[in-house]
């Protein structure tokens, strides 16, 4: 359990500084993504983007496996 908490914390720590760069790839702008601002901090929960990028990774892995 503590490993998952640590992994999620590590991913959030890496994800938030990369958010301005990832905006160019529409991460956080797909329907299904949740963005909200609390004071001066922008929080992004990219549910829709995660599905799109996971599907893309699955397709690439399937193509690589066939070759």
At residue 48, the pLDDT reads 81
Question: Tens digit of pLDDT for each residue in 35-46?
Answer: 888 888 777 777
Question: Tens digit of pLDDT for each residue in 13-67?
Answer: 777 777 777 777 766 677 888 888 888 877 777 788 778 878 888 899 889 888 7
Domain count, the chain: 1
Domain limits for position 9: 2-66
Q: Which residues contact 53 (CB under 8 A, 6 or more apart)?
A: 27
**What's this model's pTM, rounded to 2 decimal places?**
0.56
- Torsion sign across C-alpha atoms 6, 9, 11, 17: negative
* Unique residue bearing structure tokens 């890496």: 14
């Amino acid at each position: 359990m503590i490993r998952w908490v640590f992994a999620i914390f590590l991913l959030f720590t890496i994800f938030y500084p990369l958010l301005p760069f990832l905006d160019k790839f529409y991460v956080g702008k797909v329907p299904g993504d949740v963005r909200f601002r609390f004071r001066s901090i922008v929080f992004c929960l990219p549910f829709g983007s995660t599905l799109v990028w996971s599907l893309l990774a699955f397709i690439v892995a399937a193509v690589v496996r066939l070759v």
